[in-house]
Structure 1
């Protein structure tokens, strides 16, 4: 990426010695400031030994004393011209700038095919993530407490810790297969195999989860780990698979593919797995084991298809070794603005952490049918796709973080609305007006989330280096994912910690009240019922946790998130380079 010239200090320009005017034949890189430019990604890399052919002139390093800032020289020259000469110079400059200004080209067929490939690869990631973060917790909630669900929630952590082994993915590969395919192919085979193995005993795991909670957590932890490894390779491939003018659409491909797989494993599966839904539509119920076998077969089929797709070789003078990549990663981490961005990511989702982790579970607990939830989210799915497209177009400009910043306030307001919906949730059956309100809240909230995801992903692709693209993208994505992952465990634990539920048992002599921690789980409620009692929730910790998250979210957005994002967005691309 080119190093931008330092800003002109106009107060010192008058002190420069007078220079003889010379007519320029071609503008310098600094002359192009203010006009649309191509992405600087292909100009240079974070490793100086690796060459990628430039598409635009390379700007001299700002720290090299042999080069003077061109804009400073131009201003001195123009200040010494008379009116006619200045007009003539401006006319020549405008003609040259108009000739060199890039025009936005339509998406090529090659890029369209590449986008289709990326969507399918991200789709495979969405299958296990939709199970681990969506449908399986719903199935387990019928038998486990929120504290036990917190243990299973640890299965999502590898997706946020993939930074630790991303340099390995960037370093080791088989040249004859391809740098990215060397990892994508085996990871997808392993993902399919794990799903196939789990499918044989899936019904036993779901029906008696208390006996297998650690085994289930370990199995899905492995599944998410290999999905995260595949994601590292796909993210790196996206940087070279798409042309530079369409790199922002990599985030759109990820949004479409990941959300499609996620919703297939979450809402579509929950609906088809529900016996009530199956009886209503006179179709057979879809067991978890059967769905896992379908996902495994799809993963195997895509892996076979990839064998016939050739990966373009990257122009390098030497192979990247793991030590070099880890050193490069460490240099990236040491950049002050990268550290600022990572801290920003860690706390950016705290405002709606309770909504993401608990709200839908609470609604199902209060009587919302799983098939009704599936219908609500299925209605939302087209808006997710549209949101990904809008975010991709919106983030193509010079301010890719703009949609990310603008969506903060709608997400906080909608998180509050979700909490109020749980509080005012009616007793079944749910009337149509309330269900319509639930659908509106779900659609608008997910649309705002998709806009934020597209904006921040576009910003990542804008600043990442394609040679260590997997590592750079993964570093940033790690903290983005961790911002939504690390609060989940504490939110689930906090709901039980702040909840007070007692088992009221009536007998001949009166009423006996027993304080029972397990009254917060369906299993505990059933045990209380077997004793002839009823679980009464005197204080629901969900509302306390939700209020804490919303309060922290509002404070952080006002005083940290938006001001910091504006500063980071205004930095020149050269500031994100490891080597200047």
Structure 2
């Protein structure tokens, strides 16, 4: 019986692959908003402050607020097209058109001016200032794009609970991990690598040029075309739900009754035939939030990611600011990519094995028990927390040990790779672990609302502190401007100091202080609240998560 739970059923391979592709599309704008654009802003305009980068991070907020309109997605649809396809098809078409249009605007310097200047003749200097970039308009564009992605995510999360049979339902989190990570790394790592003229000249070209292989605007337009192509496939070659209660033979030979396998799918009672009243969905949504178990989980999500925010939001940007080349930083992520995919799959199997075989068993190892407590379905998530905390501690060391002459040694480069591998792998462990837990406790009777609520709470924990953390870094940083031996505090800004022939002197770097504060708070929260609450939640019966 355990093997059945740990293997993806053959009849679920095609819907599993479809989910991977749909989550992959979500990962493209997510990779741009969370990774690529902040890197481009920091590398193009050295005077871009962490507060400004924090303001741009507001473009990612729809992922943390999507629960506000998820009941609308659950309630209004065309019965002919299907409850999920009614949203996936138009939202992806609009997203594809918007990506193409944004690429067109950038190519004409109407948005994100200067980012593609190396690919064309332009009077606008390549090293532009933050003010010239008009970060507010850029933020608005990506805010709308991420809003569309978040809406698609609501529909896909709900669809995942319905097109996979109960036998393979735990692999919904695996599809999400593989798809989102692949899209994210394509837009972040692979794009930055092939957008870099230095990287292409060093490893691919024989005759050096000032630009890479693909511009930012062209990448956005190609992504838009891909969105439209996948949407056409969904439109013409998929159906809303598989045939429920199918009976499939367990082997290729002629089968008798004992060789038949009953394939069960989750029923979608709410709105299964007619449009559900919106008030009913919001009522169900409110009932979920009133459950004591959900309130406890919500509190954990709200505070658990604070410890990593400075490291994951600013460490790479600090290295970039110190002189680490963006293409070299992208290579570290590129190396990480296959590990993310492989380990993501095995972490899902680990979570599934714990869930079905060794849930809530005692462990005899005192150190393990002290760190993560009794073995249960949330054990991978707890290990992931400790791993990310370790990566955050290493982040301080990496930035402090950056070579003063700017020459990166092989040992230092490998240390950067190791720190990034540790952080991103443990992030995947947490993501897959908590997604498997969400899939286990979500009530399919309420459609995608329950699953979206849980994923939204998780996303919110990593979103709300970001602007605060970036502001703290700037506020706690103390710098001076040295002009011909005369120093003064720097109210003018770094760009103006440099333009006057001055040298920016950092007296106190707020990054170190902020990261240490985050780490200390994380340790206190983990051993004082998070671990105890997680151990209690994983022991709760499924009925404690039901409101209908």
Question: Aligned partners of 2:417, 2:170: CA distance in 1, in Å?
Answer: 30
Q: 1:275 to 1:317 in 2, by over 3 A?
A: closer
Paired residues in the alignment total: 471
- The CA distance in 2 between the partners of 1:157 and 1:106, in whole Å, is 35
CA distance in 1, matches of 2:71, 2:473: 38
Which residue number corresponds to residue 175 of structure 1? 79
Equivalent residue for 1:513? 487
Task: Note the 1:190-201 alignment, pairs <5 A.
Answer: 190-201=94-105
CA contact (8 A) 1:497 1:541 kept: yes
Say whether the 8 Å CA contact 2:60–2:143 is kept in structure 1. yes
Counterpart of 1:331 in 2: which secondary structure?
helix
The TM-score normalised by the length of structure 1 is 0.79
Kept in 1: contact 2:306–2:522 (CA 8 A): yes
Partner SS state of residue 247, structure 1: helix
Q: Look up the SS of the partner of 1:502 in the other structure.
A: strand
* Cα 1:574/1:501, change in 2 over 3 Å: same
Mapped to 2, the partners of 1:105 and 1:347 lie a distance apart of 32
Q: How far, CA to CA, are the matches of 2:8 and 2:30 in structure 1?
A: 30
- The structural deviation recorded for 1:109 is 2.5
The residue that corresponds to 1:90 in the other structure is none
Q: CA deviation at 1:106?
A: 4.5
Paired residues for 1:295-306 under 5 Å: 295-306=223-234
Q: TM-score, normalised by structure 2?
A: 0.83
Counterpart position of 1:310: 239
Is the Cα contact below 8 Å between 2:58 and 2:139 reproduced in 1? yes
CA RMSD of aligned residues (A): 1.7
Q: Tell me whether 1:430 sits opposite 2:404 in the alignment.
A: no
Give the match for residue 466 of structure 2: 488
1:161 aligned to 51, 65, 71, which one?
65
The residue correspondences of 1:258-297 to structure 2 (distance < 5 A) are 258-283=180-205, 284-297=212-225
1:251, 1:388 within 8 Å by CA — same for their partners in 2? no
> Does the alignment pair 1:255 with 2:177?
yes
1:395 aligns with 2:351: yes
1:152-551 pair list within 5 angstroms: 152-202=56-106, 204=109, 205-207=112-114, 209-211=130-132, 212-283=134-205, 284-307=212-235, 308-312=237-241, 314=268, 316=272, 319-396=275-352, 397=355, 398=359, 399-426=376-403, 427-506=405-484, 511-517=485-491, 519=493, 524-525=494-495, 527-551=496-520
Over 3 Å counting, the alpha-carbon distance change for 1:103 and 1:214 in structure 2 is closer
Instruction: Give the alignment of 1:79-94 within 5 angstroms.
Output: none
1:154–1:110 distance in 2 versus 1, CA, 3 Å = same
Deviation at 1:317, TM superposition (A): 6.2
Q: Tell me how far apart the structure 2 counterparts of residues 328 and 165 of structure 1 sit (CA, whole Å).
A: 14
Query: What is the Cα deviation at residue 485 of structure 1?
Result: 0.8
- Matched-pair contact (CA < 8 Å) for 1:159–1:228: yes
Q: How far 1:318 moved relative to its partner?
A: 5.1
Cα distance in 2 between the residues matched to 1:187 and 1:318: 21
| Residue correspondence of structure 1 range 48-59 to structure 2 within 5 A | none
Q: Deviations over 1:226-257 (max 9, x none)?
A: 00000000000001111112111111111110
Which secondary structure does the structure 2 equivalent of 1:200 belong to?
helix
- In the alignment, the residues of structure 2 paired with residue 514 and residue 129 of structure 1 have an alpha-carbon distance, to the nearest angstrom, of 41
Confirm or deny: 8 A CA contact 1:163 1:474 kept in the other structure.
Answer: yes
Q: Distance in 2 between matches of 1:297 and 1:318?
A: 33
Q: Following the alignment from structure 2 to structure 1, what is the Cα–Cα distance between the partners of residues 492 and 187?
A: 29
- Counterpart CA distance in 2 for 1:105 and 1:453 is 18
**Structure 1 position 501, deviation (Å):** 1.1
Offset at residue 278 of structure 1 (A)? 2.5
Structure 2's unaligned 5+ residue stretches are 115-127, 206-211, 243-267, 360-375
Instruction: Determine the structure 1 residue equivalent to 2:26.
Output: 125
Deviations 1:172-211 (A, max 9, x none): 1111111111111111111111111111232531535524
**1:223 & 1:125 partners in 2: Cα distance?**
10
